[in-house]
Amino acid sequence: MAEGFSILDKYESPHTDAPRPAFYLDLNLNQILDKVTQTWGKQVKKMFLYFPKDAQCEQYRRGVYGDVKQEGCYDALMKFLEMTAKMEENQKQEEAVASAMQKDVWHLWAIWHYCEAFEGLRAQLQKLELSSEGMKEFLRLLGEHLDSEGYKTMRSRVDSILKELMGFRFTITYDKDRMIISEGTTQGDYEAFVEKGGDHDRIRLKSPFLVSPNLSDLENECLSVLASKRPKIFAALKETAEKYQSFGLDWCFQFIQEIPYYLSFRGFQLDMEQKGCVFCTPTVDENQETSAEELYDLALKLVAQREGRKVVSNSFAYQPGESFFVLTGPNQGGKTTFARSLGQLIFFTKMGLDVPARKANVRYYRNILTHFSVEESIETGRGKLKEELIRLAPMMEDYEENDFVVINELFTTAATYDAEIMGKKVLTHFIDQHCQGIYVTHLKELASAHPKVVSLRAMLNEERLQTFRIARSEAEESACAANQVNKYRLTYEQLKERL
């Protein structure tokens, strides 16, 4: 059991190098996750590419994340990773150097940092009231490991050897073209003389040996003289390094790999919260419909922050019996943004993390399906329609139920008559599959395509300007460009006034 422990997954985890799901780009998740993992690297980013196996696994992560958010826990884990980074650095140093003696010492340092990391983490976690299954189990298993006799012996042997080596002082006398090595210190103190007579802000004596991590020939020669004088300690070094050539437990190393999943997002969330963004832990009550208050598009928020703009947030709730929102309204009115934010809500909930909203309840969905029209596509007319349909086909062949579906502007280039029919078919298909979702369209007829469809509209204010508010309302065709002209005060009268 212990060997299979993962802080990410309750059961055997589906750690696959899965390709990036199609919805990633559509929901702009890549922008968000690039930011989340920007200081963490590719390995961490990969952990965001697949969903936990089932609802229980999602709950497992949500629990762990809840503990990570506890006061002191994030800091303890970050400190832990600093230590393990040193261990990894030691292992790299062990790889890099040529001398066997040096390899042995770096190996011992790696063990030492391993011990320091986990012992330090245990001490910190013991102070906390952990509530998640994952963290509690981790702490229990860690206790067993650190209290085992084998571990304790390893720790004390490594400690004593390193202590002795590091405390070692010896003297090199360079005279008559020879280096003479002796243990201990000698009388003379030229440094004190320099201290007294030289500049006070003088430079320090730099060791010429530190230019390379490898031992220089000079050091090697000196060390072999020292080894001949102190055979015992150098023998113990060799023996201990051999004995503990492999150290530590696999699940512990796995923990080091996996915990950044939570820490990266936590660090990101803290940063965003400091800049005034709101997050919440969603509830996952199956007896309630999916809903959110003050939901916003996190990717848009990142861009807006850079440019100093504000992002409008929206609230929504499915009512019992409602399957699809059909969203219509003016161009540039926030339709796509709203659809994306819904997708992001489902995504982060499924990942067991916090979501960009003030409050949210999200039912369990098996998967997320998205279809966005590719505006940059060179194809037009029939070509574009063809391309859309090719992407749509596999989504509809998948007869799994209970997905969350986000569709954005299908069939824009088809004849309206055709488009209506096709749109209705698509909606009906997903509703029949017990899916829920949102369908953004310019065709108001789709709002009445099915009894389980609700009409939403991107609202304008009294001056016909975009508000980016989304509300339940009668469907409306896309408005013309007048509001944009208005916004820039470019009508005939306005221009007369201005000129």
Query: Contact with other proteins (CB under 8 A): which of 1, 17, 149, 174?
Result: 174
Interface pattern 52-91 for other proteins (x via CB under 8 A): --------------------------------------x-
Q: What is the full DSSP assignment across 242-292?
A: HHTSS-S-HHHHHHHHHTHHHHHHHHHHHHHHHTT---BPPB--TTS--EE
Residue 182 lies near other proteins (rule: CB under 8 A): yes
Residue 217 lies near other proteins (rule: CB under 8 A): yes
Count of CB atoms situated within 10 Å of the CB of 250:
12
Cβ proximity to other proteins: between 198 and 394 the closer is 198
Contact between 458 and 329 under an 8 Å Cβ cutoff? The reply is: yes
Cβ proximity to other proteins: between 112 and 324 the closer is 112
Which residues from 429-448 bind other proteins, rule CB under 8 A? none
| CA dist., res. 291 & res. 298, Å (int) | 17
Cβ proximity to other proteins: between 16 and 187 the closer is 187
| CA dist., res. 272 & res. 266, Å (int) | 10
Query: Contact with other proteins (CB under 8 A): which of 3, 19, 129, 169?
Result: 169
Question: How far, in whole angstroms, is CA 36 from its chain's centroid?
Answer: 5
Residue 100 lies near other proteins (rule: CB under 8 A): no
Cβ proximity to other proteins: between 102 and 254 the closer is 102
Which residues from 456-485 bind other proteins, rule CB under 8 A? none
Q: Measured from the CB of residue 86, what is the shortest distance to other proteins in angstroms?
A: 10
| CA dist., res. 296 & res. 315, Å (int) | 9
Residue 276 lies near other proteins (rule: CB under 8 A): no
Query: Contact with other proteins (CB under 8 A): which of 24, 109, 247, 348?
Result: 109
Query: Contact with other proteins (CB under 8 A): which of 2, 18, 218, 270?
Result: 218
**What single-letter DSSP state applies at residue 364?**
-
* Phi, psi for 203 (deg, rounded to 5): -75, 155
**What single-letter DSSP state applies at residue 37?**
T
Interface pattern 127-166 for other proteins (x via CB under 8 A): --------------------------------------xx
Cβ proximity to other proteins: between 90 and 337 the closer is 90
Give the interface segment with other proteins, choosing from 184-192, 305-313, 343-351, 474-482 (CB under 8 A). Answer: 184-192
Count of CB atoms situated within 10 Å of the CB of 134:
24
Interface pattern 185-214 for other proteins (x via CB under 8 A): xxxxxxx-xx--xxx-xxxxxxxxxx--x-
Torsion, Cα of 328, 332, 333, 338 (10° steps): 80
- By CB atoms closer than 10 A (0-12, 13-18, 19+), residue 186 is exposed
Cα dist from 482 to 256, 330, 463, 465, whole Å:
57, 11, 11, 9
**What SS3 state is found at 409?**
coil
Q: Measured from the CB of residue 91, what is the shortest distance to other proteins in angstroms?
A: 12
Contact between 114 and 90 under an 8 Å Cβ cutoff? The reply is: no
Q: Measured from the CB of residue 122, what is the shortest distance to other proteins in angstroms?
A: 24
Q: How many residues bind other proteins (CB under 8 A)?
A: 61
Contact between 475 and 456 under an 8 Å Cβ cutoff? The reply is: no
**What single-letter DSSP state applies at residue 202?**
P
Residue 105 lies near other proteins (rule: CB under 8 A): yes
Residue 97 lies near other proteins (rule: CB under 8 A): yes
| CA dist., res. 134 & res. 63, Å (int) | 7
Residue 222 lies near other proteins (rule: CB under 8 A): yes
Cβ proximity to other proteins: between 213 and 383 the closer is 213
Q: Measured from the CB of residue 199, what is the shortest distance to other proteins in angstroms?
A: 4
Torsion, Cα of 370, 375, 381, 385 (10° steps): -10
User: What is the binding site for other proteins (CB under 8 A)?
Assistant: 90, 93, 97, 99, 101-102, 105-106, 109, 165-182, 185-191, 193-194, 197-199, 201-210, 213, 215-219, 221-223, 225, 228-229
